[in-house]
Chain A
């Protein structure tokens, strides 16, 4: 496989469930990101991992718990979510986070469409 993959592609869960989203990148990148995309809102950066270390947590509620066991894998553990958490969750990776500004695009996965009932 190539690029950035995400599983599952669709997820429906109740508010009391615990589930995990998985992201894997095959690009040799060092930085990985979780974004939340809700309708009619800009993409919201949730977490950033750089060389497996969390470098950004943009005031995300504790019901979202990230895990980065290595530079290629990123998880988002979900528990006791709310209906307003329903959104498309996008994972991305890039070569480096915190490096010189320049052509360092982020490569995105296809996203997980999450519905919280």
Chain B
């Protein structure tokens, strides 16, 4: 079974609007971390935001917030006030407490329309 599932291969959003990128995960380990990375066309993976499985509050970093719903095993990324520079691939990833390996999803391509 896939550890990380991203069901949206491509998304479009109007500039200055908010957008939600979906991510669901699968683990039986009670201790894990969830990460979102951005990959522009240049190729480099840029870390955006982190959520720990024991964190009580949803993580926020500037315009990025993570909608963490533990019971549903979802960790959606919300980008507010989209900018043209947000156009990129976005990857959700998980690190389990016991396995220590990072598992990545297939990514979502976000295009911000002016």
Give chain A's interface residues, CB within 8 Å of chain B: 33, 40-43, 45, 48, 56, 88, 90, 92, 97-111, 113
- Knowing A101-B31, A101-B95, A101-B96 touch, does A45 contact B44 (C-beta < 8 A)? no
B95 touches A104 (CB 8 A): yes
A-B contact count (CB 8 A): 61
The CB with the most chain B CB atoms within 10 A, among A40, A42, A56, A90, is that of A42
**4 interchain residue pairs of minimum CB distance:** A108-B45, A101-B97, A111-B43, A43-B104
Q: Tell me the dominant secondary structure on chain A's binding face.
A: loop
A41 touches B106 (CB 8 A): yes
- Knowing A108-B44, A110-B42 touch, does A103 contact B52 (C-beta < 8 A)? yes
Q: B61 CB to closest chain A CB, in angstroms?
A: 12
Q: Enumerate chain A residues within 8 angstroms of B47, measured Cβ to Cβ.
A: 105-107
In the bound complex, CA of A42 to CA of B45 (Å): 13
Give chain B interface residues in 41-78, CB to chain A under 8 Å.
42-47, 50, 52-53
Q: Enumerate chain B residues within 8 angstroms of A48, measured Cβ to Cβ.
A: 101
B43 touches A113 (CB 8 A): yes
Q: Enumerate chain A residues within 8 angstroms of B32, measured Cβ to Cβ.
A: 101
Q: Enumerate chain A residues within 8 angstroms of B106, measured Cβ to Cβ.
A: 40-42
Q: Enumerate chain B residues within 8 angstroms of A88, measured Cβ to Cβ.
A: 43
